[in-house]
Amino acid sequence: MMNAMDTKRLTTDDAARGAAIIASGGLLGIPTETVYGLGANGLDSAAVAAIFAAKGRPQDNPLILHIPSADWLERYCQDISPAAYDLARRFWPGPLTIILKRKPIVPNTVTAGLDTVGMRCPDCAVTRAIIAAANVPVAAPSGNTSGRPSPTTAEAMLEDMDGKIDAIVDAGPCTVGVESTIVDLTTTPPRLLRPGGVTLEELRNVLGEVAVDEAVLRLMSTNEHPRAPGMKYRHYAPKAPVTVVSGDAQGTARYISAHLQPGDGVICFSDYVNFFSGFSTQAIGPADDPQEHARHIFEALRAFDHEDVKRIWAQSPDATGLGLAVTNRLNKAAGFHIISL
């Protein structure tokens, strides 16, 4: 068991203190536009191992390296295609992770033994300043206990990580709310490994053909090796079991309403809350607003951990645009227990 640390609360004015923690091999909660991350020096195997220990994360689940600009790609990657720079120009800083061939300087602990590594430049000025000042890439998964919903505020991260990390930088709520899109450029055609804040349609506008990995739509088996975070294991899950209902919004609302039992909770669109009178609800925004769904989905999943609900029902957005990322997170939270109408 880890000894409890005195987790310091830092502000956006404390980039130098944050950089010193990273440079000295410590663990730092970092804000990004997607979710809060658990950061450490990505070139220090011991520091990276501490990430896995703090999260209880499986060792075969690779990490993403965060950098302050595309200029750093050549430090850690090789055989970098022009498409990588095209994506960086279009989407960085932003919620996109690019899978490239790694250089030997990147430890196996980061890549889970793969010959590739995920690279991202986050759209958060203080985090980029911390990385630049530390002068090392920051390895960072989401800042939650492995398997739980990702944190979109410093307070949510501290629910899981207070006493386990050196400090956290509080930059307010995350603006996107779901993790970065991950695209693998080492395959032909490029392959979407995880949907996120950059949509599949936006990727195709830059790259042309982009394949969608099967793991976006199903659970991986125990003997499959994930090429990126979020692919293999049950993720984003609250304590109560989740059932996702997909279809048109009114149809899913009627179905859930007809099947509710005492002690159930509902994740729903705000325009359908009245269907679930007498039951605990967490609204994630209007049915036609995927940006709001993304910002609130993890908050909704986490909120039910503070209530005594026996089961959670969830209305599923359309799996297009940013909705693909939201449905992916819901489906994984449910262990792909989905009712399609």
> Is 234 within a domain?
no
Model confidence pLDDT, tens digit, residues 27-85: 999 999 999 999 999 999 999 999 999 998 877 789 999 999 999 999 999 999 999 99
Residue 157 and residue 22 share a domain: yes
Separation between Cα atoms, residue 153 and residue 164, nearest integer Å? 17
> Is 221 within a domain?
no
> Is 246 within a domain?
yes
Residue 127 and residue 47 share a domain: yes
Residue 198 and residue 251 share a domain: no
Q: Could you tell me where the DSSP H helices lie in the chain?
A: 15-23, 45-55, 73-76, 82-91, 108-111, 125-134, 154-161, 200-207, 249-259, 290-303, 323-333
CA distances from 180 to 139, 159, 231, 322 (A): 14, 22, 13, 11
> Is 225 within a domain?
no
pTM of the model: 0.94
Model confidence pLDDT, tens digit, residues 168-216: 999 999 999 999 999 999 999 999 999 999 999 999 999 999 999 998 9
Residue 320 and residue 174 share a domain: no
Encoded tokens for 284: 């994630």
Residue 56 and residue 173 share a domain: yes
> Is 223 within a domain?
no
- The residue segments making up the domain with residue 47 are 8-216
Separation between Cα atoms, residue 196 and residue 19, nearest integer Å? 27
**Is the pLDDT at 234 greater than 70, yes or no?**
no
How many structural domains does the chain have?
2
**Is the pLDDT at 231 greater than 60, yes or no?**
no
Task: Name the nearest CA neighbour of 42 among 98, 111, 94, 113.
Answer: 111
